């Protein structure tokens, strides 16, 4: 059992950190002994007989003076630590030390150690770490990471550092990894429905933009080697077809929702639909740009969305003002509830509009989950994590972070990558997921596989890669449900002899969870067939070597 000492202002970050780590812990009680004691905030450790004490603090502490360890640099933010194949940006206070001993993290520039092993009076090991873990969790889950650190799953790395310290000390550790039983990770395919038909855009900015990019940009794309002649041909044919689309003679080539149901390979996907047309919404007291307004209403596509629902796909709210305005949010949510007949609705905001108060607004509205936290200009981990998490200021709403968005990868003015460059970035995200578990949330817009974007081949490759690497393809709603069950799992309910984990809900057919046990010489283990999906009630147990394997 891990005991935690932290300041009250860090309590919600501590609780969420251990929901993501999912290992037994409690806030430190003075009358109890712990195998591992974690001291954050000011690093004051109660007298303890713990085998391992980890002291996290980004400022100089009495323990440093006591051990004669000099602080070599002290700063707020602007530091990257590296070690064990990881790069971890530190956003709060941090210090480095003058110490020659072994350390697991060093300042990337100065190479000074950011950790050291201190002498302990009681015989246990004390490891001093030069930043505050829970202050970092606060920053990641509230403000998020800047774009330049998008590719770093910082929160997963923080978990990994702590796990390595515990496991390498030979202390037994149980955890329920964020990995559905029988798979390596979750691939969540989502589609923001912004432009389900080009015929709704006659002589507007969207139509002229389409013509310009289809005729001119794709020609330059071919000349610069960024697009193929076949793409140019397809786009020019689409331009010639356009009048016939407007006349209703030719098929509307932006109407691609049914194509996605075939591409998404039998898994369930999620489609976020805009409730009302012609409403740009507002931000910071001002009207949003007029071209944020949609050319369609959810009611216009009700027939096709109901068909998608009947095939098992999910329809969510692509919110206009729901992120900041409760009365408008209620109207938007009610419209999607009316059309879908579903009570539990998830959201993603159009243009990813969101701020720190949005989780509380959405929770008040009764939204089931949100999936807006991501970047418009980058792919990766805004909140530093591939796991579904609970924003720190709400009680029930969960956030499914968005990791890979088509427009962020390819649009000029955003990352503007070639398919090869984009593949590298996306593969790294999938590789992190196979290593740490969690979910890769993908947003491929409705029109992105159609002219003039034609990002179909890349999307198909991405799906193949996920399939090959062992993904469970799940809708956003099912992904969130799976994480809710993991959050509900209690270690007290664990019956290791029977290899069973009790869950409060048992009705849903979702993959199970498994227990990973490190340094478990004394525990009875049930090594079920890991490749087989288990029923929701069974918990497989997996023994892990005394040394933790990364990758």
Contact residues toward Zn ion (CB under 5 A) are 192, 194, 350
293 contacts 234 by C-beta, under 8 angstroms: no
* Helix, strand, coil percentages, rounded to 5, for the chain: 35, 20, 45
Q: Nearest distance from residue 323's CB to Zn ion, in Å?
A: 12
- What is d(CA 315, CA 191) in angstroms, rounded to the nearest whole number? 10
**CA distances (Å), origin 138, targets 4, 92, 383, 417:** 16, 10, 10, 32
Q: Nearest distance from residue 322's CB to Zn ion, in Å?
A: 13
Q: Nearest distance from residue 318's CB to Zn ion, in Å?
A: 5
Q: Nearest distance from residue 274's CB to Zn ion, in Å?
A: 7
Provide the token pair at 359. 């989780």
Q: Nearest distance from residue 371's CB to Zn ion, in Å?
A: 12
Q: Dihedral through CA 37, CA 38, CA 44, CA 47, nearest 10?
A: 0
Residue nearest to Zn ion (CB): 350
Closest CA to 345 of 271, 294, 280: 271
> Considering beta carbons, is residue 434 or 443 the nearer one to Zn ion?
443
Q: Nearest distance from residue 289's CB to Zn ion, in Å?
A: 13
> Considering beta carbons, is residue 181 or 206 the nearer one to Zn ion?
206
> Considering beta carbons, is residue 22 or 318 the nearer one to Zn ion?
318
> Considering beta carbons, is residue 112 or 350 the nearer one to Zn ion?
350
> Considering beta carbons, is residue 106 or 279 the nearer one to Zn ion?
279
- What is d(CA 312, CA 374) in angstroms, rounded to the nearest whole number? 26
> Considering beta carbons, is residue 353 or 459 the nearer one to Zn ion?
353
Sheet holding 79-83, edge to edge: 86-90, 79-83, 106-107
Q: Nearest distance from residue 299's CB to Zn ion, in Å?
A: 18
Chain centroid, CA 339 distance in Å: 28
Q: Nearest distance from residue 272's CB to Zn ion, in Å?
A: 7
> Considering beta carbons, is residue 7 or 376 the nearer one to Zn ion?
376
Provide the token pair at 323. 């992120």
> Considering beta carbons, is residue 194 or 452 the nearer one to Zn ion?
194
Close Cβ partners of 345 (under 8 Å, ≥ 6 residues apart): 316, 317, 333, 336, 337, 367, 368
> Considering beta carbons, is residue 112 or 191 the nearer one to Zn ion?
191
Q: Nearest distance from residue 35's CB to Zn ion, in Å?
A: 48
φ/ψ of residue 544, rounded to 5 = -120, 145
- What is d(CA 76, CA 106) in angstroms, rounded to the nearest whole number? 16
Close Cβ partners of 506 (under 8 Å, ≥ 6 residues apart): 536, 537
> Considering beta carbons, is residue 135 or 446 the nearer one to Zn ion?
446
Provide the token pair at 40. 């954050």
- What is d(CA 516, CA 500) in angstroms, rounded to the nearest whole number? 13
Provide the token pair at 165. 């310290």
Closest CA to 55 of 137, 165, 145: 165
φ/ψ of residue 83, rounded to 5 = 160, 150
- What is d(CA 188, CA 440) in angstroms, rounded to the nearest whole number? 6
Provide the token pair at 105. 């993290």
Provide the token pair at 517. 């046990």
Q: Nearest distance from residue 271's CB to Zn ion, in Å?
A: 12
Q: Nearest distance from residue 69's CB to Zn ion, in Å?
A: 52
> Considering beta carbons, is residue 132 or 194 the nearer one to Zn ion?
194
């Amino acid at each position: 059992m891990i005991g935690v000492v932290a300041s009250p202002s860090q309590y919600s970050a501590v609780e969420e950190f251990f929901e993501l780590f999912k290992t037994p812990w409690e806030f430190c009680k003075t009358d109890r002994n712990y195998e591992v004691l974690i001291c954050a905030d000011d690093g004051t450790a109660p007298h303890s007989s713990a085998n391992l004490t980890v002291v996290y603090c980004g400022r100089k502490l009495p323990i440093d003076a006591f051990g004669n360890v000099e602080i070599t640099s002290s700063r707020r933010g602007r530091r990257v630590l590296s070690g064990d194949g990881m790069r971890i940006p530190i956003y709060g206070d941090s210090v480095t030390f003058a110490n020659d001993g072994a350390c697991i993290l060093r300042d990337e520039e100065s190479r000074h150690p950011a950790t050291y092993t201190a002498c302990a009076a009681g015989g246990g090991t004390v490891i001093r770490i030069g930043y505050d873990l829970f202050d970092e969790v606060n920053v990641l889950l509230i403000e998020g990471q800047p774009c330049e650190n998008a590719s770093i799953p910082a929160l997963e790395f923080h978990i990994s550092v702590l796990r390595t310290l515990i496991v390498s000390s030979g202390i037994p550790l149980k955890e329920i990894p964020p990995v559905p039983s029988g798979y390596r990770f979750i691939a969540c395919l989502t589609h923001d429905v912004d432009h389900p038909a080009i015929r709704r855009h006659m002589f507007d900015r969207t139509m002229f933009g389409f013509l310009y990019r289809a005729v001119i940009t794709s020609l330059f794309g071919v000349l610069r080697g960024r697009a193929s002649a076949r793409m140019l041909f397809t786009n020019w044919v689409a331009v010639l077809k356009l009048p016939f689309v407007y006349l209703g003679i030719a098929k509307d080539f932006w109407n691609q929702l049914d194509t996605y149901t075939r591409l998404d390979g039998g898994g369930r996907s999620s489609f976020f639909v805009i409730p009302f047309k012609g409403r740009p919404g507002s931000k910071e007291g001002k009207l949003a740009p007029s071209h944020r307004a949609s050319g369609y209403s959810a009611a216009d596509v009700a027939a096709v969305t109901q068909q998608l629902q009947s095939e098992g796909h999910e329809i969510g709210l692509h919110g206009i003002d729901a992120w900041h305005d409760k009365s408008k949010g209620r109207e938007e949510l009610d419209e999607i509830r009316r059309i879908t007949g579903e009570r539990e609705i998830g959201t993603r905001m159009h243009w990813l509009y969101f701020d720190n108060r949005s989780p509380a607004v959405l929770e008040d509205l009764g939204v089931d989950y949100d999936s807006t936290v991501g970047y418009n200009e980058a792919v990766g981990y805004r909140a530093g994590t591939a796991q579904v998490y609970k924003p720190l200021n709400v009680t029930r709403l969960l956030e499914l972070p968005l990791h890979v968005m088509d427009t962020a990868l390819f649009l000029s003015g955003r990352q503007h990558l070639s398919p090869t460059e984009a593949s590298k970035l996306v593969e790294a995200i999938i590789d992190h997921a196979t290593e740490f578990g969690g979910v890769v949330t993908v947003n491929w817009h409705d029109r992105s596989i159609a002219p003039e974007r034609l990002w179909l081949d890349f999307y198909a490759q991405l799906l193949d890669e996920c399939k090959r690497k062992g993904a469970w393809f799940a809708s956003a709603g099912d992904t969130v449900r799976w994480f809710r069950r993991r959050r509900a799992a209690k270690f007290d309910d664990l019956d290791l002899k029977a290899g069973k984990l009790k869950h409060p809900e048992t009705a849903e057919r979702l993959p199970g969870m498994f227990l990973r046990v490190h340094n478990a010489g004394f525990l009875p283990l049930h090594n079920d067939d890991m490749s087989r999906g288990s029923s929701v009630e069974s918990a497989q147990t997996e023994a892990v070597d005394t040394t933790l394997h990364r990758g």
